[in-house]
């Protein structure tokens, strides 16, 4: 009988030991550190050339030749394309002939005017002798006025013909497409033999980026963040082409014109970027970070310590300790973030739980939260010397009497971050 009881006692002992180990409190902590913290606003954007010029055609016709292609470096005035000039040359010849005809008509009307003046002068000389009547004089005067009007009309017709001729010459010159600026061809929209029509608007043949050594990132910043951006603010961004590199820029403009898409309002923040090695290309997608605040050489801690909700047993112990020394209870005076106390008047004041000696209940420490990057925050203890670099702050607890469910960690939902 004894040999049967011995294994049973061992089993019961092991079960008791296992239950004891499973009931042992488990506390996770994070160390307070000293260093720098920077707050930032992030946004997506697209790289663009500082100045982009679209080169179009003023006249319609067939593309006869292309003198530039993608990535071609061009100077102002360089020929980049030619349009078949036959149609425009014919227009020049036609308008030139119209000018010659208008000149002939003007000469003819001027001769008629001279004849009318001569006849009127002779008639007036014969009027005293009675060889002509006053009615004939009036008729000749009217004929002279008509001749003068005809001369004026022919002069106008000549001016119109000359203007049309000048326009034809200009259109002929437009068949040679020249670059309006120095830069690089980034797009070409036509091929040799293609017909372009410029009846309503100038068709775009090329897009030329003026200087790719200076570029801009146009970002879409949410309306909730745009108030933190200022001109001259530093910005940092990365592109998929160079995932391990960070490029630096500066905010040059925060445009007030909103963009609304699916009820989301964003604003364009323009970031100037130097690109001396031409590594950045137009159209690249940039992930931009705007540094809005920075704190150097400060105490900082992971935000999990600020979000931690202690077990009720810890809160009761802290309250009892405060009452014992006759001080205001931390939960009432500083509270914070659902940690068992009343909500503080200053939302920047939170409460963290400092891990003490082994076996001791962690004690609450009120702190003021400063700059945060979303993962780590600057903290300043309300009582000098209450925290130092290397101190451990609780981020989770389980198996503590009074914890949620009696044995599980109790974490408050993010309240500040």
Q: Annotate the chain with three-state secondary structure.
A: CHHHHHHHHHHHHHHHHHHHHHHCCEEEEEECEEEEEEEEEEEEEEEEECCEEEEECCCCEEEEEECCCCCCEECCCCEEEEECCHHHHHHHHHHHHHHHHHHHHHHHHHHHHHHHHHHHHHHHHHCCCCCCCHHHHHHHHHHHHHHHHHHHHHHHHHHHHHHHHHHHHHHHHHCEEECCCCEEEEEECCCCCCEECCCCCCCEEEEEECCCCEEEEEEEEECCCHHHCCCCCEEEEEECCEEEEEEEEEEEEEEEEEEEECCEEEEEEEEEEECCCCCCCCCCEEEEEEEEEEEEEEEEEEHHHHHECCCHHHHHHHHHHHHHCCCCCHHHHCCCCCCCCCCCCCCCEEEEEECCCCCCCCEEEEEEEEEECCCEEEEEECCCCCCCCCCEEEEEEECCCCCCCCCCCCECCCCCC
Confidence of residue 132 (pLDDT cuts 50, 70, 90): confident
- The first and second tokens of residue 317, run together, are 């112990």
Q: Which residue has the tokens 């005067």?
A: 141
Bridge-partner residues for 368, per DSSP? 349, 380
Angle between helices 134-174 and 86-126 (to 10 degrees): 170
Provide mean pLDDT across the span 354-364.
Answer: 81
Would you state the pLDDT for residue 401?
Answer: 60
pTM: 0.62
Q: Which residue has the higher pLDDT, 8 or 112?
A: 112
Gyration radius from the chain CA atoms: 45
Would you state the pLDDT for residue 332?
Answer: 39
Would you state the pLDDT for residue 345?
Answer: 67
Question: What does each C-alpha distance from 374 to 182, 260, 306 come to in angstroms?
Answer: 45, 27, 12
* CATH number for the domain whose boundaries are 40-49+210-295: 2.40.30.170
Which of 361, 200, 204, 215 is closest to 288 using CA atoms? 215
Confidence of residue 25 (pLDDT cuts 50, 70, 90): low
What mean pLDDT, rounded, does the chain reach?
A: 84
Provide mean pLDDT across the span 218-246.
Answer: 93
Instruction: For Cα atoms 371, 376, 382, give the angle at the middle one, nearest 5 degrees.
Output: 60
Q: Which residue has the higher pLDDT, 294 or 160?
A: 160
| C-alpha 86, offset from chain centre | 46
Can you tell me the distance from the alpha carbon of 179 to that of 91, in angstroms, rounded to the nearest whole number? 25
Can you tell me the distance from the alpha carbon of 121 to that of 139, in angstroms, rounded to the nearest whole number? 13
Which of 45, 280, 87 is closest to 172 using CA atoms? 87
The 10s digit of each residue's pLDDT in 171-230 is 999 999 999 999 999 999 999 999 999 877 778 999 999 889 999 999 999 999 999 999
Can you tell me the distance from the alpha carbon of 282 to that of 53, in angstroms, rounded to the nearest whole number? 13
Would you state the pLDDT for residue 2?
Answer: 45
Side-chain-side CA neighbours of 123 within 13 Å: the count stands at 18
Architecture of the 53-79+182-209 domain: Beta Barrel (2.40)
Q: Cα torsion at 279, 280, 281, 283 (round to 10°)?
A: 160
Confidence of residue 23 (pLDDT cuts 50, 70, 90): low
Q: If phi over 0 gives left and psi between -120 and 50 gives alpha, with beta otherwise, what is residue 147?
A: alpha
Would you state the pLDDT for residue 177?
Answer: 95
Provide mean pLDDT across the span 284-309.
Answer: 91
Contacts of 340 (CB under 8 A, 6+ apart): 309, 310, 312, 315, 331
For residue 16, pLDDT beyond 50: no
- The first and second tokens of residue 385, run together, are 């010397």
User: Lowest-confidence range among 11-20, 129-138, 225-234?
Assistant: 11-20
Would you state the pLDDT for residue 314?
Answer: 83
Which of 414, 412, 377, 386 is closest to 397 using CA atoms? 412
Which of 148, 295, 277, 137 is closest to 215 using CA atoms? 277
Classify the C-alpha dihedral 219-225-231-237 as positive or negative. negative
């Amino acid at each position: 009988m004894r040999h049967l009881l011995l294994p049973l006692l061992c089993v019961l002992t092991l079960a008791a030991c296992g239950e004891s180990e499973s009931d042992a409190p488990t506390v996770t902590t994070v160390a307070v550190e000293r260093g720098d913290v920077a707050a930032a606003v992030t946004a997506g954007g697209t790289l663009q050339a500082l100045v982009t010029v679209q080169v179009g055609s003023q006249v319609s016709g067939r593309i006869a030749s292309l003198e530039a292609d993608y990535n071609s470096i061009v100077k102002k005035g360089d020929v980049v394309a030619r349009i078949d000039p036959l149609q425009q040359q014919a227009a020049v010849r036609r308008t030139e002939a119209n000018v010659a005809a208008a000149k002939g008509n003007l000469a003819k009307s001027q001769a008629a005017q001279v004849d009318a003046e001569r006849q009127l002068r002779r008639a007036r000389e014969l009027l005293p002798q009675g060889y002509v009547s006053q009615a004939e004089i009036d008729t000749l005067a009217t004929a002279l006025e008509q001749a003068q009007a005809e001369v004026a009309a022919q002069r106008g017709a000549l001016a119109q013909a000359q203007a049309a001729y000048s326009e034809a010459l200009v259109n002929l010159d437009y068949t040679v497409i020249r670059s309006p600026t120095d830069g690089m061809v980034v797009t070409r929209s036509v091929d040799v033999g293609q017909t372009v029509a410029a009846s309503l608007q100038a068709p775009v043949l090329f897009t030329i980026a003026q200087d790719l050594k200076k570029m801009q990132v146009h970002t879409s910043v949410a309306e909730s963040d745009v108030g933190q951006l200022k001109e001259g603010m530093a910005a940092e961004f990365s592109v998929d082409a160079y995932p391990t590199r960070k490029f630096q820029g500066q905010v040059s403009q925060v445009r007030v014109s909103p963009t609304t898409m699916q009820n989301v309002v964003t604003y364009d923040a323009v970031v100037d970027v130097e690109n001396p090695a031409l590594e950045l290309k137009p159209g690249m997608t940039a992930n931009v970070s705007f540094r809005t605040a920075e704190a150097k050489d400060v105490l900082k801690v992971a935000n999990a310590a600020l979000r931690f909700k202690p077990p009720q047993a810890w809160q009761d112990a802290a309250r009892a300790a405060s009452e014992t020394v006759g001080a205001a209870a931390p939960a009432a005076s500083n509270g914070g973030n659902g940690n068992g106390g009343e909500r503080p008047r200053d939302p920047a004041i939170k409460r963290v739980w400092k891990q003490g000696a082994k076996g001791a209940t962690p004690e609450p420490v009120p702190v003021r939260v400063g700059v945060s990057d979303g993962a780590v925050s600057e903290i300043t203890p309300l009582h000098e010397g209450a925290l130092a670099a290397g101190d451990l702050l609780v981020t989770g607890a389980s198996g503590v009497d009074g914890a949620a469910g009696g044995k599980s960690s109790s974490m408050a939902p993010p309240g500040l971050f």
